[in-house]
Chains A and B, each alone.
Chain A
Amino acid sequence: MGKKMTILTKGLIKENPVLVLLLGTCPALATSTSSINGLGMGLAATAVLICSNIVIALLKNIIPDKVRIPCYIVVIAGFVTIVQLLLQAYVPSLYKSLGLFIPLIVVNCIILGRAEMFANKNSVADSALDGIGMGVGFTLALGVMGAIREFFGAGTLFGFAIYAGHIDPMGIFMLAPGGFFVYGILVAAVNHFSANGTKKKSFSCDECPLFNACTLKEDEELRVKVEQKGAEA
């Protein structure tokens, strides 16, 4: 149970896809101009992520290894089309403001990354939990970024005026430089508070959030083995 809990919660802060793994930067910067857009984009990606993780975990023994990436893309594209049509039908305003970035969920690194790193190695239940955790982490990051940018850039929060109309907001927060700035500050803040009071002294594999999915893992294990043998000899 503890392991399942870790899979579910690691996406929130410890392995937050946007702020720690630094994946999905493009949609994060482009769609976080307001809190509603950010949350909407996050939820749309979460829905696709959970569904694609489940299906890919189901199909992991059938998909041939050599063509796995095209197969993942077909699965993801199917779910993205469903989400796109649903958004167009039920929340046309959000569909309009997200625009091109909905079809681009297909090539979102987070979704493809979780399929490659997690879903094709783990059980269906674990993959679903991973999808939920990562998706909520993505939504959270986009929502916070969107709220900050909307507050400073438009003087509103979730569309309600906070100080708009009284003080001129700083338009730069709605543009790309402001997006990069808020992104950088959030990454720094998460790094600062998740360091648990210890300073990183080296870039060793133990501290890397990508360690479990990394190809260098095998090299590292080999190196440790060789070292042990050397020590024995």
Chain B
Amino acid sequence: MENEKKVYDKLLVTSAPHIVSSIDTQKVMANVLVAMAPALAVGMYVFGMRVIALTLVCVIASVGFEWIYNKFMKKQQTAGDLSAAVTGVLIAFNVPSSLPLWIAIIGCFVAIIIVKQLFGGMGRNFVNPAITARIVLFVSFATQMTTWPLPSMAPVTDATTGATPLGLWAADKSVDTMSAVTNNEMFLGFIGGCVGEVSAFALLVGGIYLIWRQIISPLIPACFIGTVFLFALATSGSFDMAIFHVFAGGVMLGAFFMATDYVTTPMLPIGKIIFGVGCGILTMVIRIWGAYPEGVSFSILLMNIVTPLIDKFTIEKLYGGVKKNEKK
């Protein structure tokens, strides 16, 4: 009898899950940082050393705001889990390299304090922090956010800024943008634009790395990019134009790094497909008929907001559960 009791004392009864993998937030975020390295390297090559300063300021500000908020609100310290660092790098990726540093710091404040922490911190934000920061800055500081420094390999002229390929196309849609920028240049990233969005190639490398490490599901990027491609092909009828729309602007950056955020995207595969297709359609609608040349950030933000609805409508019925239209 005594013996039996001792055995039971050692029996642990816990609820599922019983198998815990070694993967945690910090490891996921470290992988994302690794995946962003190629795009950052191209950004530094194309826009010069200011990119380093901008990225460092964004990362330090984001982690700093996270640390200060947790300290001030007496919450568990989450500044070390690298998620704020990822947000910081993404903010730097989403702005022109010439952006004044104090504006970038305001962006980090919006992302970390307002979008993430006020809504409950890690895992409870209802929209992507970096995307929201970009849009707040874009609406507030339109001049600084649309002044694009020329890439370092541009032919030497007196001009220091120029339009992005999408900007050229949006200004005059009949113009043959291919004569100004080739799709090849756009693939490699030798064009004007935000720090991290210029090189489709580098972003593709990072995205494939994330898919290979099973950090992100390929569904959303595939549906997003596929929809943009098909939409552009259907509306322009030109294969070159379809490729142009996939490589131009933030489609690659958005599809791999921002539309795949766990918290703000649907959970089930069918929901992810709806999300990706919705992002693609909204992006192209804004690009073709909207007032702005680029619509990736707005499309992701809008789809983030409808994510709870998508999740609700795509919920899977459990086997043996209640049939449709049948009352309990």
- Show the binding face of A for B, using Cβ within 8 Å: 168, 170-173, 175, 177, 181
Minimum Cβ distance to chain A for residue B84 (Å): 21
Flag whether B141 is at the interface (Cβ < 8 A): yes
- B28 located at the interface, meaning its Cβ lies under 8 Å from any Cβ of chain A in the complex: no
Q: Is B139 an interface residue (CB 8 A)?
A: yes
Instruction: From A168, A172, A177, A181, give the contact of B144 (CB < 8 A).
Output: A168
* A173 partner residues in chain B, CB cutoff 8 A: 140
| B106 lies within 8 A of chain A by Cβ | yes
Q: Which listed residue, B103, B106, B142, touches A171 by the CB 8 Å rule? A: B142
Smallest CB–CB gap between B298 and chain A, Å? Answer: 12
Residues of A within 8 A of B103 (CB): 168
CB contacts (< 8 Å) of B140 on chain A: these are 170-173
Distance (Å) between the CB of B72 and the closest chain A CB?
Answer: 14
Which A residue's beta carbon lies closest to that of B138?
Answer: A172
Cβ–Cβ contact B141 & A168, under 8 A: yes
Cα A175 to Cα B139 with chains together (Å): 9
User: Which chain A residues lie closer than 8 Å to B106 at the CB level?
Assistant: 170
8 Å CB interface, B105-129 against A: 106, 114
A-B contact pairs, 20 of them (CB 8 A): A168-B103, A168-B141, A168-B143, A168-B144, A170-B106, A170-B136, A170-B140, A170-B141, A171-B139, A171-B140, A171-B141, A171-B142, A172-B136, A172-B139, A172-B140, A173-B140, A175-B139, A177-B136, A177-B139, A181-B114
A173–B106 alpha-carbon span in the complex (Å): 13
Mask: chain B, 90-113; 1 = CB below 8 Å from A; 0 = not: 000000000000010010000000
Q: Is the contact region of chain B dominated by helix, strand, or loop, or is it mixed? A: helix
Chain A residue nearest to B139 in the complex (CB)? A172
Assembly CA distance A125 to B106 (angstroms): 50
* Residues in B neighbouring A175, C-beta threshold 8 A: 139
Q: Which residues of A contact B143 (CB under 8 A)?
A: 168
B8 → A minimal CB distance (Å): 38
> Which chain B residue has the least Cβ–Cβ distance from A177?
B139
Report B327 CB to chain A, min CB distance, Å: 27
Interchain CA distance A181-B118 in the complex, whole Å:
12
Task: For the complex formed, measure the closest distance between the CB of B145 and the CB atoms of chain A, giving whole angstroms.
Answer: 11
- Chain A residue nearest to B103 in the complex (CB): A168
* A177 to B127 Cα, complex, angstroms: 14
- C-alpha spacing A181/B119, complex, angstroms: 13
Assembled-state Cα–Cα distance A175/B103 (Å): 18
* Interface mask (B124-164 → A, CB under 8 Å = 1, otherwise 0): 00000000000010011111100000000000000000000
Give CA–CA (A172, B141) in the complex, Å.
Answer: 9
Give the complex CA separation of A175 and B135 in angstroms.
13
* Chain A min CB distance to B9 (Å): 37
A7, B142: Cα distance in complex, Å: 47
- Inter-chain pairs besides A171-B141, A181-B114, 18 sampled, C-beta below 8 Å: A168-B103, A168-B141, A168-B143, A168-B144, A170-B106, A170-B136, A170-B140, A170-B141, A171-B139, A171-B140, A171-B142, A172-B136, A172-B139, A172-B140, A173-B140, A175-B139, A177-B136, A177-B139
Cβ contacts under 8 Å, B144 to chain A: 168
- Distance of A167 from chain B, by nearest CB (Å): 8
CB distance from B214 to the nearest CB of A (A): 36
| B141 contacts across to A, CB distance below 8 A | 168, 170-171
Which of chain A's residues have a CB closer than 8 A to the CB of B142?
Answer: 171
| Least CB distance, A214 to chain B, in whole angstroms | 30
The 3 closest A-B pairs by CB, nearest first: A170-B140, A172-B140, A172-B139
CA–CA, A174 and B47, complex, Å: 33
Complexed CA–CA distance, A177 and B110 (Å)? 13
Residues of A close to B114: CB separation below 8 A: 181
* Complex Cα gap A182–B139 (Å): 16
A68 vs B144: C-alpha distance when bound (angstroms): 55
- Shortest C-beta distance, B313 to chain A (Å), equals 27
Smallest CB gap from B100: residue in A: A168
Best-buried of B106, B114, B140, B144 by chain A (most CB within 10 Å): B140
Shortest A148–chain B CB gap in Å is 14
B23-54 at interface with A (beta carbon < 8 Å): none
CB-defined contacts of A177 to chain B, threshold 8 Å: 136, 139
- Give the complex CA separation of A48 and B242 in angstroms: 59
A172 to B142, CA, bound (A): 10
Question: Cα distance A171–B140 when bound, in Å?
Answer: 4
Q: Measured between alpha carbons, how far is A171 from B103 in the docked complex, in Å?
A: 13
Which of B106, B141, B143 gathers the greatest number of chain A CB atoms within 10 Å? B141
